[in-house]
């Protein structure tokens, strides 16, 4: 199964069903089930921003499963949609002074799974996952 490594706290926000898009500078044609790997990288400013949620932020573990259903360019229309959904969760993408340019992978059917300890990789990578 394909896996994507995501920095914390964003991997946990996905696993908790709070974040429905994962953002990358590159696009993907992949559609289907994917595992969410919480990498060892941590965005300290973002961790502070979400501290009030009192969530666990494991690292170096696959923590969720989801389905990539679309890959869309992040334009003003998507930013408007994200602003309406949750301006705190999508804070980084919505900043007025952000020159960020890229794509949002639409995630659906998000579910937490029993954590699997493993090192992450760049891009989409493969893991032999047995759904139990």
Q: Per-10-residue mean pLDDT for the chain, 132 residues long? A: 96 97 95 97 92 94 98 92 90 74 95 95 91 66
List phi, psi (to 5°) of 95. Answer: -55, 135
CATH number of the domain bearing residue 77: 2.30.130.30
**Count of domains observed in the chain:** 1
Residue 30 CA to residue 123 CA, distance in Å, equals 12
Residue 1 CA to residue 122 CA, distance in Å, equals 15
Considering the domain boundaries, does residue 131 fall inside one?
Answer: no
Considering the domain boundaries, does residue 106 fall inside one?
Answer: yes
- Which domain range does residue 74 map to? 2-119
List phi, psi (to 5°) of 128. Answer: -80, 90
Q: Give this prediction's pTM.
A: 0.91
Considering the domain boundaries, does residue 79 fall inside one?
Answer: yes
Considering the domain boundaries, does residue 130 fall inside one?
Answer: no
pLDDT of residue 67: 98
Residue 118 CA to residue 90 CA, distance in Å, equals 27
The whole-angstrom distance between residue 43's C-alpha and the CA centroid of its chain comes to 13
Considering the domain boundaries, does residue 132 fall inside one?
Answer: no
Considering the domain boundaries, does residue 94 fall inside one?
Answer: yes
Considering the domain boundaries, does residue 126 fall inside one?
Answer: no
Considering the domain boundaries, does residue 125 fall inside one?
Answer: no
Residue whose entry in the numeric block shows the structure tokens 């890959």: 71
């Amino acid at each position: 199964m394909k896996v994507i490594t995501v920095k914390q706290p964003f991997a946990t926000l996905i696993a908790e069903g709070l974040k429905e898009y994962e953002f990358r500078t590159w696009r993907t044609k992949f559609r289907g089930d994917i595992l969410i790997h919480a990498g060892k990288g941590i965005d300290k400013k973002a961790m502070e921003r979400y501290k009030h949620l009192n969530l666990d932020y494991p690292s170096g573990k696959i923590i969720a499963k989801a389905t990539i259903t679309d890959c869309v360019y992040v334009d003003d229309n998507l930013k408007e949609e994200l602003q309406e959904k949750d301006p705190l969760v999508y804070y980084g993408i919505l900043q007025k002074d952000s020159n960020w340019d890229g794509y949002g992978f639409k995630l659906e059917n998000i579910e937490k799974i029993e954590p699997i300890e493993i090192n992450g990789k760049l891009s989409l990578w493969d893991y032999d996952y047995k759904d139990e």
